Amino acid sequence: MLKSKQLLQQFSKEYAKYTPTNFKLKRALVVTKLSRYEFEQLRHPELSPDQLQQKLRDRGTDVEMVLHLHKVHKDFERRVVQSFQDVGCEVKLSSRSSLSKDVMSWADVIVPVGGDGTFLLSAGRASPLFALSQQKTPIVGFNSDPLHSEGRLMLPKHYSDNPADAVSRIKSGDFKWMHRSRVRTTMLGSNGNIPEPTDLFRHTEVKMEQVSTAPEMLDQDMAYKYKAKMKRVLPYLALNEVFIGEHLSARVSHLQLVLDHQDVVNKTKCSGLCVSTGTGSTSWHTSINRITSRDVDDLLRSLPDGDSKNVMMLRQNAEEIAQRYNQGLLFAPDDPRLCYSIREQICVGVWPSPKTFKERDFVQTVFVKSHCIDANLVIDGSISFPFNDGAKALLEVHPEDALLTIALD
């Protein structure tokens, strides 16, 4: 296994191959957010606007707020479109459901307008596995409602007040390229078939267009090590994380892991596995692993000299200690490593096996075998594949899979 700095240097050289040298902004594809109001309209197409609003009121929904947020988003969306048109760009609008290879390859830049969810959905299609060519289309996001959405993947919030300033800088080339690492998921098995995925946002099966992935034979060493004949790359890359666990959260997830192709098979019973990128380290990864000032205080109080002067001083700084620890969970978006986290690992009796198995660590590759009953492999909280007893997957990072984004400030 390469050391972190060596790996980063290696990936940086590869990233340079995919960095545009003559970027010209002429065509912008604006990807629109599906607002809560639009979502309800899709759920109840048989209802008139008045009937829909009454139905929402009957179930206790704050209809006025739903309509207000819908208007806020649509007003800002129009401002973004106008900003690109004002610098001479041709603009097309697309919803998530209408994103296609043709429209993605048409654009010079992909512009999700909404929150992080919209950005992730757009990034899922801005993929070399999905595109018509290996040329990368950059992506830059605008937060349509910074008062109600953190939007960590979007441009800084002050550009929500003045999107024209951001567009002007992009047009003039006054920005930096950022390559965000993504997780490639490869299913291993006997026939190379991919189970039907489900769109968790719409609760429907995903009808995938023709993609560039096809079944391949495993080389002899891999076939022997992982007891499989064929491999097939899933056509979706994870920008934040891949989660594997039982569909019913109250049921224990039984998994086997092999880290960095080592000879040790790690067995765990837990509430699921989260494999995160640097981009995703600000999200679920932190939520799983963060501590509170109460955790710090309880730990210090448990020390034999918990009432000593030194410990009491530390307890007074429990909030700062917790913040520093939580900040240390984050790693850079272009970091070529993955960080896996075992949620609520059972640590009694024979579990985990071996006892030295860490519940969180940095790796380059993770092989996972399921012994679950009704489990899923979920990409960025959006696309879900069945992952039941006997299913096998290899999670890894490749420099050519990185998402090309535009960064300001």
| Higher pLDDT pick, 100 / 311 | 311
For residue 124, the model assigns a pLDDT of 82
| Higher pLDDT pick, 8 / 275 | 275
Fold for 12-174, please state it.
Rossmann fold (3.40.50)
pLDDT in tens, 232-286: 999 889 999 999 999 999 999 999 999 999 999 999 999 999 999 999 999 999 9
Categorize the per-residue pLDDT at 105 as very low, low, confident or very high, splitting at 50, 70 and 90. Answer: confident
Instruction: Say yes or no to pLDDT of 335 above 70.
Output: yes
Categorize the per-residue pLDDT at 161 as very low, low, confident or very high, splitting at 50, 70 and 90. Answer: very high
Query: What interhelical angle do 63-86 and 49-58 show, nearest 10?
Result: 130
Instruction: Say yes or no to pLDDT of 16 above 80.
Output: yes
| Distance in angstroms (rounded) separating the CA atoms of residues 323 and 28 | 39
Express as a percent the part of the chain with pLDDT over 70. 94
Instruction: Say yes or no to pLDDT of 376 above 70.
Output: yes
Instruction: Say yes or no to pLDDT of 309 above 80.
Output: yes
Residue in 393, 373, 402, 121 with CA at minimum distance from that of residue 234: 393
For residue 93, the model assigns a pLDDT of 95
pTM value?
0.92
| Higher pLDDT pick, 130 / 180 | 180
| Distance in angstroms (rounded) separating the CA atoms of residues 112 and 126 | 11
Nearby residues of 183 by Cβ (< 8 Å), 6 or more positions away: 237, 238, 241, 242, 275, 277, 338, 379, 395, 396, 397
pLDDT in tens, 311-325: 899 999 999 999 999
Contact call for residues 245 and 271 (beta carbons, < 8 A): yes
Mean pLDDT of the chain: 91
Q: What DSSP string describes 56-107?
A: HHHTT--HHHHHHHHHHHHHHHHHHHHHHHHTT-EEEEE-GGG--HHHHHH-
Average pLDDT over residues 113-138: 77
For residue 32, the model assigns a pLDDT of 94
For residue 278, the model assigns a pLDDT of 97
Average pLDDT over residues 97-105: 79
Element (H, E) at 154: none
Residue in 1, 31, 30 with CA at minimum distance from that of residue 91: 30
In our burial notation (b when 16+ CB lie closer than 10 A, e otherwise), range 382-391 reads bbbbbbeeeb
| Higher pLDDT pick, 18 / 271 | 271
Average pLDDT over residues 159-185: 96
User: Which residue type does 222 have?
Assistant: M
For residue 205, the model assigns a pLDDT of 55
**Structure token digits, residue 378:** 């979920």
Name the residue with tokens 């009953």.
373
Q: What is the CATH number of domain 183-278+331-400?
A: 2.60.200.30
Residue in 125, 404, 398, 395 with CA at minimum distance from that of residue 241: 395
Between the alpha carbon of residue 360 and those of residues 123, 314, 349, 399, the distances in Å are 26, 26, 20, 23
Q: What DSSP string describes 192-240?
A: ---PPPEETTTTEE--PPP-S---EEPPHHHHHHHT-SEEEE-S--BSS
pLDDT in tens, 84-97: 999 999 999 998 77
Domain ranges for the chain:
12-174, 183-278+331-400, 287-329
Q: What DSSP string describes 293-315?
A: HHHHHHHHHTSTTTTSHHHHHHH
For residue 210, the model assigns a pLDDT of 44
pLDDT in tens, 338-372: 999 999 999 999 999 999 999 999 999 999 999 99
Q: Are strands 142-143 and 109-114 parallel, antiparallel or unpaired?
A: parallel
Categorize the per-residue pLDDT at 230 as very low, low, confident or very high, splitting at 50, 70 and 90. Answer: very high
Between the alpha carbon of residue 354 and those of residues 267, 269, 393, the distances in Å are 7, 12, 21
